């Protein structure tokens, strides 16, 4: 019996020690903000934008001029000929201008991609915050349930020693208490894993330093928009959709730039020449006609890239419609669910468990009825907690599918 009581109260101590070791409570809004601005995803989003824009800038930059100093007739009896020339490539075909247009689209794509990475980090942090809340609440209730079964087992052991009940009944209660203690330890471990995932998302080295504040609200208002409105909003403002559209525009401008490689480009040369004691000017024009290389490979590649970007945009828009519709239907179905993990439901479950235990102690209920009642109370509490978390998680999925911010209610 001391082993049973130690296991049950040990689970309570594990939960309490985890809560006591934490610092200031972390709200849902703080978790989202930290993940988007401080966590590893913030650095990744900035890096993604710089990579996209940097590559486009490399392709669109103007060619550098060439300055040449040259002396001829060195080592001969002839007078020296000194040259100082300045050569400037001139893009008369408009290829550079088209690449500059691609650079503008690349900047838009980089900003949209960066926002998409940040938003995804915020949604992941919000999901993990709710998972930690559900796992922690479940662990606390499991520890309380284990303590209740341990006390009931102690009561039956005393009654069996007095000969009031059979030893088999006391043994059954003891087995139930052991199972409840094992479930409590499992719940504590699950809460620890969920907290570790949230800490990694936020860039916190010590998961035990995370303590969750109470949820902002366990109840949410019903949806105030239709599914068609949600789909239209998603197509207009989802960052990944905007990034795909910008990528298609960028590919189109690159295709236009490569098509202009079939025209001859020119360059200008101007400078000074000193020969025979006279100073003269040098003016030149050089042309690169596309005789051997008409830029056919780059034109074919850029056309393929444009087709691929357009196909990805179309596929994404189709997927967005399906995601929004599925998330909208799930929210509507979850809103109709009657199970809620509010304070009144928890108190009613606790009252039912206390009443069942009191009835058993007074001899008004059998052991089987009492154990079934306590297990039913545990199932109802767990279902209510999970339903509440799922309701908020489904709302998060709808906001993500619509392209809304993490904390914005659709």
Tens digits of per-residue pLDDT, 142-178?
A: 998 888 888 888 888 888 888 888 888 888 888 888 9
The count of structural domains within the chain is: 1
Question: Are residues 279 and 272 in contact, defined by beta-carbon separation less than 8 angstroms?
Answer: yes
Reported confidence tier of residue 340, pLDDT bands at 50, 70, 90: low
Spatial distance between the Cα atoms of 356 and 371, rounded to a whole number of angstroms:
9
| 408 within a domain of the structure (yes/no) | no
pLDDT computed for residue 233 by the predictor: 93
The CATH number that applies at residue 211 is: 1.20.1600.10
| 164 within a domain of the structure (yes/no) | yes
**Region label for 128, one of left (φ > 0), alpha (ψ between -120 and 50) or beta (otherwise):** alpha
pLDDT computed for residue 359 by the predictor: 86
Question: Are residues 112 and 242 in contact, defined by beta-carbon separation less than 8 angstroms?
Answer: yes
* Mean pLDDT over the full length of the chain: 84
pLDDT computed for residue 109 by the predictor: 92
* Mean pLDDT across 313-331: 95
* Mean pLDDT across 86-92: 83
Compute CA distances 217 → 125, 340, 396, whole Å.
Answer: 17, 12, 14
What DSSP string describes 273-308? EEETTEEEEEEEEEEE--SS---HHHHHHHHHHHHH
* Mean pLDDT across 324-338: 85
State yes or no: pLDDT of 17 exceeds 80.
no
pLDDT computed for residue 39 by the predictor: 75
Spatial distance between the Cα atoms of 228 and 373, rounded to a whole number of angstroms:
46
* Mean pLDDT across 301-313: 95
| 407 within a domain of the structure (yes/no) | no
Residue environment code for 33-65, b if the CB has 16+ CB neighbours within 10 A, otherwise e = bbbbeebebbeebeebbeebbeebeeebeeeee
Reported confidence tier of residue 279, pLDDT bands at 50, 70, 90: confident
Q: Which residues pair with 88 in a beta bridge?
A: 268
State yes or no: pLDDT of 5 exceeds 60.
no
Spatial distance between the Cα atoms of 354 and 268, rounded to a whole number of angstroms:
95
pTM of the predicted structure, to 2 decimals: 0.74
The DSSP H or E segment spanning 110 is helix 95-162
Domain with 317 in it: 2-402
pLDDT computed for residue 296 by the predictor: 87
pLDDT computed for residue 341 by the predictor: 52
pLDDT computed for residue 15 by the predictor: 41
| 147 within a domain of the structure (yes/no) | yes
pLDDT computed for residue 402 by the predictor: 93
pLDDT computed for residue 344 by the predictor: 62
- Helices 343-361 & 367-402 angle (0-180, nearest 10): 170
* Mean pLDDT across 61-80: 84
pLDDT computed for residue 253 by the predictor: 93
Burial of 241 (0-12, 13-18, 19+ CB in 10 A): buried
**Region label for 286, one of left (φ > 0), alpha (ψ between -120 and 50) or beta (otherwise):** beta
pLDDT computed for residue 37 by the predictor: 85
Residue 69: phi, psi to the nearest 5? -115, 120
Q: Which residues pair with 67 in a beta bridge?
A: 86
State yes or no: pLDDT of 4 exceeds 60.
no
pLDDT computed for residue 241 by the predictor: 95
| 143 within a domain of the structure (yes/no) | yes
* CA nearest neighbour of 126 among 343, 325, 397: 397
Residue environment code for 93-111, b if the CB has 16+ CB neighbours within 10 A, otherwise e = bebbebbbbbbebbbbbbb
pLDDT in tens, 223-234: 888 999 999 999
Question: Are residues 250 and 310 in contact, defined by beta-carbon separation less than 8 angstroms?
Answer: no
* Pick from 215-219, 249-253, 403-407: least confident: 215-219
Spatial distance between the Cα atoms of 182 and 59, rounded to a whole number of angstroms:
62
Reported confidence tier of residue 319, pLDDT bands at 50, 70, 90: very high
In sequence order, what are the residues at sequence separation of 6 or more whose Cβ sits closer than 8 angstroms to the Cβ of residue 367? 156, 169, 172, 173, 360
pLDDT computed for residue 310 by the predictor: 95
| 227, two tokens | 């599914």
Percent of the chain past pLDDT 90, that is, above it, reads 29
State yes or no: pLDDT of 16 exceeds 50.
no
| 409 within a domain of the structure (yes/no) | no
| 410 within a domain of the structure (yes/no) | no
pLDDT computed for residue 160 by the predictor: 85
| 376 within a domain of the structure (yes/no) | yes
Percent of the chain past pLDDT 70, that is, above it, reads 90
| 301, two tokens | 């590649």
State yes or no: pLDDT of 409 exceeds 60.
no
């Amino acid at each position: 019996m001391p082993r049973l009581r130690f296991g049950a109260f040990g689970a309570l101590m594990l939960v309490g020690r985890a809560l006591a070791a934490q610092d200031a409570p972390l709200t849902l809004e703080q978790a989202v903000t930290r993940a988007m601005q401080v966590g590893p995803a913030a650095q990744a989003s900035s890096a993604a934008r710089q990579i996209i824009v940097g590559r486009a800038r490399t392709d669109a930059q103007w060619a550098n001029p060439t300055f040449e100093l040259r002396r001829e007739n060195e080592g001969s009896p002839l007078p020296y000929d000194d040259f100082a020339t300045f050569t400037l490539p001139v893009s008369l075909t408009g290829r550079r201008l088209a690449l500059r247009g691609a650079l503008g689209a690349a900047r838009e794509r980089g900003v949209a991609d960066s926002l998409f990475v940040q938003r995804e980090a915020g949604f992941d942090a919000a999901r993990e915050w709710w998972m930690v809340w559900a796992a922690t609440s479940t662990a606390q209730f499991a520890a309380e349930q284990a303590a209740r079964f341990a006390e009931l087992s102690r009561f039956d052991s005393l009654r069996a020693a007095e000969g009031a009940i059979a030893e088999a009944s006391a043994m059954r209660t003891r087995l139930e208490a052991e199972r409840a203690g094992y479930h409590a330890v499992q719940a504590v471990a699950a809460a620890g894993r969920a907290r570790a995932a949230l800490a990694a998302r936020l860039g916190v080295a010590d998961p035990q330093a995370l303590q969750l504040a109470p949820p902002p609200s366990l109840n949410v208002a019903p949806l105030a928009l239709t599914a068609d409105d949600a789909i239209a909003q998603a197509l207009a403002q989802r960052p990944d959709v905007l990034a795909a559209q910008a990528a298609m525009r960028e590919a189109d401008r690159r295709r236009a730039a490569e098509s202009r490689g079939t025209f001859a480009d020119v360059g200008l040369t101007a400078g000074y020449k000193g020969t025979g004691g006279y100073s003269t000017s040098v003016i030149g024009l050089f042309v690169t006609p596309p005789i051997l290389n008409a830029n056919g490979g780059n034109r074919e590649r850029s056309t393929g890239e444009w087709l691929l970007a357009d196909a990805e945009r179309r596929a994404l828009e189709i997927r967005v419609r399906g995601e929004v519709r599925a998330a909208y239907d799930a929210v509507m179905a979850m809103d109709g669910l009657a199970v809620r993990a509010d304070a009144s439901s928890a108190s009613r479950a606790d009252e039912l468990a206390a009443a069942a235990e009191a009835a058993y102690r007074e001899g008004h209920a059998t052991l089987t009825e009492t154990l079934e009642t306590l297990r039913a109370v545990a199932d109802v509490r767990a279902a209510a907690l999970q339903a509440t978390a799922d309701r908020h998680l489904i709302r998060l999925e709808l906001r993500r599918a619509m392209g809304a911010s993490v904390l914005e209610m659709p």
